[in-house]
């Protein structure tokens, strides 16, 4: 079976590239997949990404915010003639420009038009997002654009969602019988232990919805009380919010802003954390950071948002607090920092959850979806 996988990919950052790196490696190990053609975004970064598996063939054929990239992607797909075309997408996968994203998503429809079997792995749903928290006005034009984008994605025979409730929403609203839920996936490090130092970790690509100002306020209170805590903000600006971190870095010299964390250093960052905090005021989809924390057996404190709560209902563990509530956030963080038993219990549950939703299990679920389409 030949698979074309369309996605952003490292050394590019965000836009689901890190997710793609993990999933592609796991997919290449599946026995029914003979070749995996990765149609990735072009990169100006100096880092070289080596793919050891000979099944994986990487072609840098599109670039963010380029309206004409869609033509090159389609040209490669027509040349390769894959058995399956798999899109790894969100509503902002193809850049920061609305028209570019809509044009990029049109590839799903174009591939169907040319008779290919198409799977769309959808990480976010614009109709479920609080647009204002992502710097988008809830205008009629934006809502119509989101509706059109959703309809384009639903032209795929199989639509995979990473949030279970999103699947129910699409089935009930649009009557698409090919919608199915496949978990996000997690790396597993069974050697993880509770960290001794009082290190608070905020990890990811930073933008307004991540709740950084709230966490900084709580951290300053803890410091003033002499709690002896350390805050690490690991990650860089989200590409759609360039320069977002600049003022925070200037104003908070007592916080460690470590910048982007390469894949090979992620484990070390998480293992030093006593607690991973997700103080989000909105979640555009399931949390990749929560899954990372689970894989390293880290305790989590998170905002009580539907997408986060769904993970907890599925077996992950976290102390959930109301969004934008500094008092509740502070109390939850102190609980994990001061109580070894609570920290250990949450961490162990998260590690068990990660084992259940490992990348190999997720790749097997996608392989089954491919084979079902071929039948």
Q: What is the pLDDT of residue 280?
A: 96
Buried b (16+ CB within 10 A) or exposed e, 23-46: bbbbbbebeebebbbbbbbebeee
Crossing angle for the helix pair 69-80 and 98-113, nearest 10 degrees?
A: 20
Q: What is the pLDDT of residue 131?
A: 67
Q: Which token pair is 251?
A: 């104003």
Q: What is the pLDDT of residue 46?
A: 60
The strand pairing partners of 259, in sequence order, are: 234, 235
Q: Is residue 298 part of a domain?
A: yes
- 205 and 150, same structural domain? no
Q: What is the pLDDT of residue 135?
A: 64
Q: What is the pLDDT of residue 164?
A: 94
- pLDDT-wise least confident of 39-48, 82-91, 125-134: 125-134
Q: Mean pLDDT for the chain?
A: 92
- 205 and 89, same structural domain? no
- For residues 118 and 106, give the distance between their C-alpha atoms in angstroms, rounded to a whole number: 12
Is pLDDT of 7 > 90? yes
- 211 and 152, same structural domain? no
Q: What is the pLDDT of residue 253?
A: 94
Look up the domain containing 176 and give its range. 2-185+358-374
- For residues 117 and 82, give the distance between their C-alpha atoms in angstroms, rounded to a whole number: 9
Q: What is the pLDDT of residues 63-76, one digit of tens each?
A: 999 999 999 999 99
**Residue by residue, what is the 3-state secondary structure of 297-364?**
CCCEEEECCHHHHHHHHCCCCCEEECCCCHHHHHHHHHHHHHCHHHHHHHHHHHHHHHHHCEHHHHHH
Q: What is the pLDDT of residue 151?
A: 96
- 60 and 125, same structural domain? yes
- 295 and 227, same structural domain? yes
- For residues 191 and 158, give the distance between their C-alpha atoms in angstroms, rounded to a whole number: 37
- 145 and 226, same structural domain? no
- 225 and 162, same structural domain? no
49 compared with 43, residue with greater pLDDT: 43
- 25 and 112, same structural domain? yes
Find the helix or strand (DSSP H, E) in which 187 lies: none
- For residues 320 and 27, give the distance between their C-alpha atoms in angstroms, rounded to a whole number: 33
Q: Is 138 helix (H, G, I), strand (E, B) or coil?
A: coil
Contact call for residues 41 and 123 (beta carbons, < 8 A): no
Region 125-150: what's the mean pLDDT? 79
- For residues 356 and 182, give the distance between their C-alpha atoms in angstroms, rounded to a whole number: 12
Q: What is the pLDDT of residues 334-366, one digit of tens each?
A: 999 999 999 999 999 999 999 999 999 999 999
Q: What is the pLDDT of residue 50?
A: 58
Confidence tier at 56 by pLDDT (50, 70, 90): very high
Confidence tier at 51 by pLDDT (50, 70, 90): low
Q: What is the pLDDT of residues 12-36, one digit of tens each?
A: 888 899 999 999 999 999 999 999 9
State the total domains in the chain: 2
Q: What is the pLDDT of residue 368?
A: 97
- 89 and 168, same structural domain? yes
Confidence tier at 142 by pLDDT (50, 70, 90): confident
Q: What is the pLDDT of residue 192?
A: 60
Q: Is residue 192 part of a domain?
A: no
Q: What is the pLDDT of residue 202?
A: 98
Q: What is the pLDDT of residues 235-255, one digit of tens each?
A: 999 888 889 999 999 999 999
Q: Is residue 190 part of a domain?
A: no
Q: Is residue 194 part of a domain?
A: no
Confidence tier at 96 by pLDDT (50, 70, 90): confident
- 212 and 154, same structural domain? no
- For residues 166 and 31, give the distance between their C-alpha atoms in angstroms, rounded to a whole number: 30
- pLDDT-wise least confident of 48-52, 95-99, 297-301, 356-360: 48-52
Sign for the pseudo-dihedral over CA of 170, 172, 174, 175 = positive
Q: Is 161 helix (H, G, I), strand (E, B) or coil?
A: strand
Q: Where are the alpha helices (DSSP H) in 125-224?
A: 140-153, 164-174, 212-224
- 32 and 128, same structural domain? yes
Q: Is residue 114 part of a domain?
A: yes
Q: What is the pLDDT of residues 180-215, one digit of tens each?
A: 999 999 988 866 666 778 999 999 999 899 999 999
- 257 and 139, same structural domain? no
Q: What is the pLDDT of residues 269-304, one digit of tens each?
A: 999 999 999 999 988 789 999 999 999 999 999 999
Please choose, from the candidates 86, 89, 120, 122, the residue with its C-alpha nearest in 3D space to the C-alpha of residue 104.
89
DSSP string of 257-299, one letter each residue: EEE---GGGHHHHHHT-SEEEE--S--SSS-HHHHHHHHTT--
Q: Which token pair is 302?
A: 């998170």
Residue 340: count other Cβ atoms within 10 Å of its Cβ: 12
CA distances to 33, 77, 112 from 151, in Å: 29, 22, 13
Is pLDDT of 49 > 80? no
Q: Is residue 61 part of a domain?
A: yes
**CATH number (domain holding residue 172):** 3.40.50.2000
């Amino acid at each position: 079976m030949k698979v074309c996988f369309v996605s952003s990919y490292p050394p590019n950052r965000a836009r689901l590239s890190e997710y793609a790196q993990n999933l592609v490696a796991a997919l290449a190990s599946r026995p029914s997949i003979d070749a995996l053609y990765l149609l990735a975004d072009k990169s100006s970064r100096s880092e070289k990404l080596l793919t050891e598996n000979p099944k994986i063939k990487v072609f840098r054929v599109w670039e963010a915010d380029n309206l004409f990239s869609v033509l090159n992607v389609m040209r490669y797909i027509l040349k390769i003639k894959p058995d399956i075309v798999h899109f790894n997408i969100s509503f902002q996968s193809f850049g920061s420009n609305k028209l570019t994203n809509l044009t990029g998503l049109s590839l799903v429809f174009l591939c169907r038009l040319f008779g290919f079997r198409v799977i769309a792995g959808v990480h976010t749903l614009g109709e479920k997002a609080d647009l204002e928290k992502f710097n988008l006005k809830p205008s009629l034009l934006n809502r119509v654009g989101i509706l059109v984008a959703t309809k384009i994605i639903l032209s795929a025979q199989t639509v995979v969602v990473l949030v279970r409730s999103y699947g129910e929403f699409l089935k009930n609203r649009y009557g698409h019988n090919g919608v199915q839920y496949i978990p996000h996936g997690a790396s597993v490090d069974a050697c993880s232990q509770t960290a001794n130092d009082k290190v608070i970790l905020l990890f990811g690509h930073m933008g307004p919805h991540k709740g950084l100002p709230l966490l900084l306020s709580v951290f300053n209170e803890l410091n003033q009380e002499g709690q002896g805590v350390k805050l690490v903000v690991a990650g860089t600006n989200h590409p759609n919010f360039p320069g977002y971190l600049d003022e925070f870095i200037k104003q908070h010299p007592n916080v460690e802003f470590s910048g982007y964390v390469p894949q090979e250093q992620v484990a070390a960052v998480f293992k030093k954390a006593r607690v991973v905090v997700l103080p989000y005021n909105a979640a555009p989809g399931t949390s990749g950071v929560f899954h990372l924390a689970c894989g390293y057996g880290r305790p989590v404190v998170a905002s009580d948002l539907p997408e986060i709560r769904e993970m907890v209902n599925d077996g992950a563990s976290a102390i959930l607090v109301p969004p934008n509530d500094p008092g509740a956030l502070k109390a939850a963080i102190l609980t994990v920092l001061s109580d070894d038993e609570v920290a250990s219990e949450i961490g162990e549950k998260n590690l068990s959850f990660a084992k259940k939703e490992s990348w190999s299990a997720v790749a097997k679920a996608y392989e089954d979806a491919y084979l079902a389409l071929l039948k």
